[in-house]
């Protein structure tokens, strides 16, 4: 079982007092109790079962503007004392950096609210096995699914405390239930294709039912069968939702405080400028209830609130922790942990309407490689998809997409099918122009 909150608070307080006794002038500490249980399944048989139960301490010590950090798995207080002393000793040897400071006390979170992220439901291994068996049975009922590459069910519970020498101390419990299945399909003498589906929720009753998981994964896999090759061309592209979320991934990498402070982002000169069409808004909201990614404070204890990253197409905010906010001379916005629940506001047209103005276009269903370079803005990746041509469609594979991230941003049209499934969520997205498909 995960440790009680009071025990974690006492251990965090103990670490801060020890660090102070060893000569630290400031201290931050994370104490987290994590229990995780996973069953792995393959071809309708259990493959293995894993369980972990750890108590983790991450500690950062300051001596003036010197700073160092270390992580350890808690064994006992004697071992913890030695590691804290080692951290302080290392701190003494490091050079001064004026931006190495604790957060401003007035920015620390106060009166945090429960975001309903903990479900005390316990799923024993037999129930995990039954879930996975139902998922694989449903998938294998599809005649073109010939085997599974593996399936898994994980239950994880976490309780943590973040504290610092300024007096901040807060944390919360969080649970996660996740399922996954990976399938292989074959039709006649064609080659084999694979795809997957997965889900993850804070509450077990919100998790996808196993039959739907298996059927969805099967549908995604079967649609790849009998792919054709295409010629190199410039053509409109539609990213389906599980791919379009990568647009937010490249955006978040490009607007990190570190990349702006060091001038290493292709967007470094675009603050308060229009980088998307005027109807595009991008939100980061850490306060969504029952989300795996929510938190009312970041890993430094700074209060996190809902912000607009992009407002009416204009870049409004970047991702800041204390260090880079000091370097840039602006306040931290509570994103030391990174972004939380990031999403495009939904578009105004239907998914089907994305297709209606084009005789030829490609729906991207999978990508290989990174989605773009946050330093140069170059975009290139391998892809598979479906080619739509004169009211017909067929699967295609082994082609590349190339262009500029800026062109993806500027030529985007969003459908109205936004759903919250990941840390970053985007509706289906049409890129009208600017991308080149590299084929045969």
CATH number at residue 84: 3.30.2290.10
User: pLDDT per residue over 354-378, tens digit each?
Assistant: 999 898 999 999 999 888 999 999 9
Q: How many domains does the chain have?
A: 2
In a 13 Å sphere around the CA of 41, the CA atoms on its Cβ side amount to 28
- 124 CB contacts (<8 Å, ≥6 apart)? none
Report, as an integer, the average pLDDT of 103-124: 96
Residue written as token pair 């109807």: 279
- 278 CB contacts (<8 Å, ≥6 apart)? 312, 313
Strands (E), 98-205: 145-164, 169-170, 173-185, 193-201
pLDDT recorded at residue 440: 66
What average pLDDT is seen over the chain?
A: 96
- Residues 165 and 124 both lie in one domain: yes
Judge whether 149 and 193 are in contact, CB under 8 Å.
Answer: no
User: pLDDT per residue over 133-148, tens digit each?
Assistant: 999 999 999 999 999 9
Query: Cα(128)–Cα(252) distance, rounded to whole angstroms?
Result: 35
Question: Which of 222, 254, 275 delimits the end of a domain?
Answer: 222
Question: Which of 222, 245, 268 delimits the end of a domain?
Answer: 222
Query: Cα(360)–Cα(266) distance, rounded to whole angstroms?
Result: 31
Query: Cα(277)–Cα(302) distance, rounded to whole angstroms?
Result: 32
Angle (nearest 5°) at CA 333 between 328 and 338: 95
- Residues 217 and 232 both lie in one domain: no
User: pLDDT per residue over 185-228, tens digit each?
Assistant: 998 877 899 999 999 999 999 999 999 999 999 999 999 999 99
- Residues 217 and 288 both lie in one domain: no
- Residues 194 and 275 both lie in one domain: no
- Residues 315 and 196 both lie in one domain: no
Q: Are strands 307-311 and 314-315 parallel, antiparallel or unpaired?
A: antiparallel
User: pLDDT per residue over 410-424, tens digit each?
Assistant: 999 999 999 999 999
Using CA atoms, how far residue 431 sits from 185, 193, 239, 315, in Å, is 30, 26, 8, 19
Whether the predicted pLDDT of 44 surpasses 90: no
Whether the predicted pLDDT of 324 surpasses 80: yes
Per this entry, what is the length of the chain?
Answer: 440
DSSP string covering 212-224, please?
Answer: HHHHHHHHHHHTT
State the residue range of the domain holding 269.
227-440
- φ, ψ dihedrals at 167, nearest 5°: 105, 0
User: pLDDT per residue over 26-36, tens digit each?
Assistant: 999 999 999 99
- Residues 158 and 267 both lie in one domain: no
Question: Which of 222, 251, 272 delimits the end of a domain?
Answer: 222
User: pLDDT per residue over 156-196, tens digit each?
Assistant: 999 999 999 999 999 999 999 999 999 999 988 778 999 99
- 250 CB contacts (<8 Å, ≥6 apart)? 371, 372, 374, 379, 405
Strands (E), 226-289: 233-234, 237-239, 282-284
User: pLDDT per residue over 376-398, tens digit each?
Assistant: 999 999 999 999 998 899 999 98
Q: Give pairs for 90-93: CB < 8 Å, separation 24+.
A: 91/24, 91/61, 91/62, 91/63, 91/66, 91/67, 92/23, 92/63, 92/66
CA dihedral 201, 207, 211, 217 (to 10 degrees): -20
- Residues 394 and 247 both lie in one domain: yes
Burial class (CB in 10 A: 0-12, 13-18, 19+), 335: buried
pLDDT recorded at residue 91: 98
Query: Cα(416)–Cα(348) distance, rounded to whole angstroms?
Result: 5
Judge whether 316 and 349 are in contact, CB under 8 Å.
Answer: no
Query: Cα(137)–Cα(11) distance, rounded to whole angstroms?
Result: 47
Query: Cα(61)–Cα(92) distance, rounded to whole angstroms?
Result: 10
Strands (E), 390-428: 392-404, 412-414, 424-425
- Residues 350 and 214 both lie in one domain: no
- 61 CB contacts (<8 Å, ≥6 apart)? 19, 24, 26, 27, 67, 68, 69, 84, 87, 88, 91
- Residues 108 and 132 both lie in one domain: yes
DSSP string covering 334-363, please?
Answer: S-TT---SEEEPP-SB-TGGGTTT-SEEEE
- Residues 330 and 438 both lie in one domain: yes
pTM of the complete model? 0.94
- Secondary structure of residue 323 in the 3-state scheme: helix
- Residues 388 and 261 both lie in one domain: yes
Judge whether 378 and 265 are in contact, CB under 8 Å.
Answer: no
Query: Cα(324)–Cα(260) distance, rounded to whole angstroms?
Result: 9
- Residues 318 and 290 both lie in one domain: yes
Report, as an integer, the average pLDDT of 7-36: 97
pLDDT recorded at residue 187: 87
pLDDT recorded at residue 189: 75
Percent of the chain topping pLDDT 70 = 100
Report, as an integer, the average pLDDT of 305-333: 97
Joined tokens for residue 385: 């998809």
């Amino acid at each position: 079982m995960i440790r009680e909150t009071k025990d974690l608070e006492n251990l965090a307080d103990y670490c801060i007092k020890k660090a102070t006794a060893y000569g630290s002038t400031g201290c931050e500490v994370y104490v987290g109790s994590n229990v995780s249980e996973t069953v792995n399944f393959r071809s309708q048989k259990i493959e293995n079962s894993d369980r972990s139960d750890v108590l983790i301490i991450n500690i950062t010590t300051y001596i003036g503007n010197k700073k160092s950090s270390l992580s350890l798995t808690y064994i006992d207080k004697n071992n913890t004392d030695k590691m804290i002393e080692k951290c302080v000793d290392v701190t003494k040897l490091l050079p001064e950096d004026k931006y190495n400071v604790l957060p401003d006390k007035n920015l620390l979170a106060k009166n945090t609210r429960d975001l309903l992220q903990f479900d005390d439901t316990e799923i024993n291994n037999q129930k995990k096995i039954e879930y996975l068996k139902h998922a694989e049975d449903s998938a294998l009922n599809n005649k073109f699914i010939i085997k599974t590459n593996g399936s898994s069910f994980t239950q994880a519970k976490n309780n943590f405390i973040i504290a610092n020498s300024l007096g901040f101390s807060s944390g919360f419990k969080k649970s996660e239930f996740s399922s996954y299945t990976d399938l292989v399909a074959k039709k006649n003498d064609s080659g084999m294709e694979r795809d997957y589906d997965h889900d993850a929720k804070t509450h077990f009753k919100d998790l996808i039912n196993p039959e739907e998981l298996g059927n969805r994964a099967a549908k995604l896999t079967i649609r790849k069968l009998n792919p054709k090759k295409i010629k190199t061309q410039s053509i409109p592209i539609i990213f389906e939702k599980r791919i379009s979320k990568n647009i937010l991934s490249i955006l978040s990498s490009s607007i990190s405080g570190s990349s702006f402070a060091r001038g290493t982002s292709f967007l470094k000169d675009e603050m308060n400028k229009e980088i998307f069409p005027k109807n595009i808004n991008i939100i980061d909201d850490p306060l969504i209830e029952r989300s795996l990614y929510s938190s009312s404070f970041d890993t430094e204890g700074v209060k996190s609130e809902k912000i607009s990253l992009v407002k009416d197409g204009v870049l409004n905010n970047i991702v800041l922790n204390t260090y880079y906010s000091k370097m840039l001379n602006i306040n931290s916005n509570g994103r030391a942990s990174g972004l939380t629940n990031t999403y495009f506001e939904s578009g105004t047209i239907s998914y089907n309407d994305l297709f209606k103005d084009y005789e030829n276009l490609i729906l991207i269903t999978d990508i290989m490689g990174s989605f773009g370079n946050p330093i140069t803005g170059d975009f290139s990746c391998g892809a598979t998809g479906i080619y739509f041509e004169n009211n017909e469609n067929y699967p295609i594979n082994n082609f590349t997409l190339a262009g500029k991230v800026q062109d993806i941003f500027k030529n985007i049209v969003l459908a109205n099918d936004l759903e919250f499934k990941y840390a970053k969520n985007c509706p289906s997205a049409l890129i009208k122009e600017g991308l080149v498909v590299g084929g045969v």
